[in-house]
Amino acid sequence: MAQHPVIGYVVWAVLFGALFAWEGLALSHISGVPTLSDAFRAIMRYPFGRWALFALWLWLGWHIFIRGWHFLLRG
Amino acid sequence: MSSSLLRQDVLPVAVGYLLLMGALAAGLRLTWRGGHPPAPARGGATAATRDGPAGTARDGHPAAAGWLRLVRHYAGTAVGGYLLLMAVVVLYYYGVARVGGPFIRSAFTGCALLIALSAPVFALASWLTGRRRSRAGRRHADPPAPRATP
């Protein structure tokens, strides 16, 4: 595995932590902030928003499941 | 299974899954505790998703019309999203990062494969959801007959 500066990992951890914290706050109805579902619903009202989200989903799936794919769990 | 596979693949996926499920469970628990009913579908839902693929439950349209609408909606989203991603991939990787050839070919074929694999699953899930909704609708429409009492 390639060596990267720790700060890079910390930034990712903080970003994901903030995402979960924001979602938790929204779901607890404390502050009236929109949940991720609300945000996605607002984006998906428009065709271009749906295309962008689908493109994002494809990009993620392509990177995770298709690129460099080999037989399931081959060591 | 090698230890590197466990460490690099299985463990991060499992931790991510547990975090996501934990956040969702906590949110649901808080929602129920606060006495909030589950939110109904709001204005963002499209006609196809709102009525369900069967299209019979609420508006009385024939089932085929509902399916046709769903297929058109899905095809429009999938084709639009695919073309948008391919445009971005070609512009960025070919024009900026200068990574061409097999990489871009892999993007075209890989994303198409992903759509081909997911479409039948999506259709099956939609069919099951529509069937469940129509069954629930029938159950509500036919309440049990009142018992004849002397």
- Rounded to a whole number, what is the distance in Å from the CA of B77 to chain A's nearest CA? 6
**In the predicted model, is pLDDT for residue B52 greater than 90?**
no
Which helix (H) or strand (E) is B7 found in, with range? none
Supply the ipTM of this predicted assembly: 0.71
The answer to whether the CB atoms of A45 and B23 lie below 8 A apart is no
Map B56-75 to HEC letters.
CCCCCCCHHHHHHHHHHHHH
- The DSSP secondary-structure symbol of B40 reads P
Residue A24 to residue B76, Cβ atoms within 8 A: no
Can you give the pLDDT at residue A52?
Answer: 92
Q: Region B25-51: what's the mean pLDDT?
A: 56
Mean of the per-residue pLDDT values for chain B?
75
Task: Give the DSSP H/E element, type plus range, for residue B1.
Answer: none
Instruction: For residues B38 and A24, give the distance between their C-alpha atoms in angstroms, rounded to a whole number.
Output: 16
Q: Model confidence over B63-114: pLDDT tens digits? A: 777 888 889 999 999 999 999 999 999 888 877 877 778 888 888 998 999 9
pLDDT at A37 over 50: yes
User: What mean pLDDT is predicted for residues A28-52?
Assistant: 86
Instruction: Annotate chain A with three-state secondary structure.
Output: CCCCCHHHHHHHHHHHHHHHHHHHHHHCCCCCCCCHHHHHHHHCCCHHHHHHHHHHHHHHHHHHHHCCCCCCCCC
Q: Nearest by CB to B44, from A45, A51, A65: name it.
A: A45
Give the torsion through C-alpha atoms of B53, B119, B92, A2, to 10 deg. Answer: 120
Is B23 in Cβ contact with A42 (below 8 Å)?
A: no
Instruction: Calculate the CA dihedral of residues A40, A46, A49, A50 and round it to 10 degrees.
Output: 80
Of the residues B13, B72, B77, the best mutation for testing chain A's interface (the one with the most A CB atoms within 10 Å of its CB) is B77
